[in-house]
């Protein structure tokens, strides 16, 4: 841990911001944001709106999975809404003219919905694990009402966690930059890292257990649907880890650098690495489509089977 007096800390902060804002690395980040965020915003918005329309107006079956998925879609849409403003904040380099309160709101949208998505994926994994691994227990633990309560509690928690963002920011601070108190205090980044480690552990454990159970069923019945489900669950957990793990590793390294556990020579490079990983994490808004496909396909098949069953009864 480095020890600086207040003047030295302030001077070091100014030098780092000044240097980093005029380097080739920052220009690279701006370009990288355009390359990643524009397709993510366009494609993600279309995918999520189409999935929402199908769930609300075509299937009309509010089961636990659908409730979780609708919440995940809204989380993705709100996160996507923040991306144009995040790009704008980097492009203007401190000339933010959209108001401090709106800046804080957009920042909250970005971070709240990032962790809302992570925690929703964890809840979805737990729900599917309970349904597949413990079907008798699932009758007690699973219901649309309980899924709604779980999502409500989740949103209350993550939005409450954004309150310090409104209390600690000054009017003259830039948007999406210079989170000095955020990094110096360390409580919030360490809490975010802890939340992700817990969520990732739950998702990995549940996915492994689900796949093992489906493999046994597949061996007994040679069910093609089971193999498809296993592939999609495997893809989902890999996508989840690829999107969010680099971001949290970068966050941890940058936190160490800000607190002088890593030489400050690496500070600018680690900041660029963190920003790149943040961009890549947002692609999860598009990649969630694999899960949407799985659930919609399952409900569509069950709906068609119920119609066929009804038709056969009337025919007989």
CATH number of the domain bearing residue 241: 1.20.1070.10
User: Quick one: which of 182, 64, 54, 195 has its CA closest to 125?
Assistant: 64
DSSP character for 264?
Answer: G
Task: Pull the structure tokens for residue 164.
Answer: 């310090």
Structural domains of the chain, count = 1
Q: What is the DSSP string of 266-291?
A: GHHHHHHHHHHHHHHHTTHHHHTHHH
- Is 173 inside a domain boundary? no
Residues in the chain: 316
* 95 phi and psi angles, rounded to 5 deg: -105, 40
- Is 144 inside a domain boundary? yes
Q: What is the DSSP string of 49-87?
A: HHHHHIIIIII----HHHHHHHHHHHHHHHHHHHHHHHH
pLDDT of residue 302: 63
Supply the range of the domain harboring residue 295.
Answer: 23-167+179-301
* 202 phi and psi angles, rounded to 5 deg: -65, -45
Do 102 and 148 meet the contact criterion of CB atoms below 8 Å apart? no
- Is 12 inside a domain boundary? no
**Over the stretch 263-283, which tens digit does the pLDDT of each residue have?**
878 888 888 899 999 999 999
- Is 201 inside a domain boundary? yes
- What is the rounded average pLDDT of the residues 251-269? 84
- Is 13 inside a domain boundary? no
How many beta carbons lie within 10 A of that of residue 14, not counting itself? Answer: 10
**Over the stretch 68-81, which tens digit does the pLDDT of each residue have?**
989 999 999 999 99
- Is 311 inside a domain boundary? no
Least confident of 96-105, 120-129, 275-284: 96-105
- Separation of first and last alpha carbons in the chain: 80
- Is 313 inside a domain boundary? no
- Is 211 inside a domain boundary? yes
- What is the rounded average pLDDT of the residues 227-234? 74
């Amino acid at each position: 841990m480095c020890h600086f007096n207040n003047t030295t800390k302030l001077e070091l902060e100014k030098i780092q911001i000044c240097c980093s804002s005029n380097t080739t690395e920052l220009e690279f980040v701006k370009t990288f944001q355009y390359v990643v965020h524009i397709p993510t915003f366009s494609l993600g918005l279309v995918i999520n709106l189409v999935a929402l329309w199908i769930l609300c107006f075509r299937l009309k079956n509010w089961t636990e999975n659908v409730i979780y998925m609708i919440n995940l879609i809204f989380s993705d849409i709100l996160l996507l809404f923040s991306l144009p403003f995040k790009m704008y904040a980097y492009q203007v380099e401190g000339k933010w003219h959209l108001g401090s309160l709106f800046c804080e709101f957009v920042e909250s949208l970005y971070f709240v919905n990032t962790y809302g998505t992570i925690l929703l994926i964890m809840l979805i994994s737990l729900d599917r694990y309970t349904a597949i691994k413990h079907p008798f227990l699932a009758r007690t633990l699973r219901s649309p009402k309980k899924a709604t309560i779980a999502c409500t509690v989740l949103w209350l928690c993550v939005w409450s966690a954004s309150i310090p963002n409104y209390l600690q920011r000054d009017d003259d601070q830039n948007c999406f930059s210079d989170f000095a108190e955020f990094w110096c205090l360390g409580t919030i980044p360490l809490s975010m890292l802890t939340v992700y480690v817990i969520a990732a552990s739950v998702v990995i454990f549940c996915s492994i257990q689900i796949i093992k159970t489906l493999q046994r069923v597949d061996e007994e019945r040679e069910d093609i649907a089971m193999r498809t489900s296993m592939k999609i669950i495997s893809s989902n957990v890999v996508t989840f880890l690829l999107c969010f793990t680099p971001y949290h590793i970068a966050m941890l390294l940058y936190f160490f650098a800000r607190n002088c556990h890593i030489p400050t020579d690496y500070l600018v490079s680690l900041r660029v690495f963190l920003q790149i990983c943040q961009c890549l994490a947002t692609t999860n808004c598009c990649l969630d489509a694999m899960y949407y496909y799985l659930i919609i396909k399952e409900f569509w098949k069950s709906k068609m089977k119920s119609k066929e069953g009804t038709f056969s009864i009337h025919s007989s």
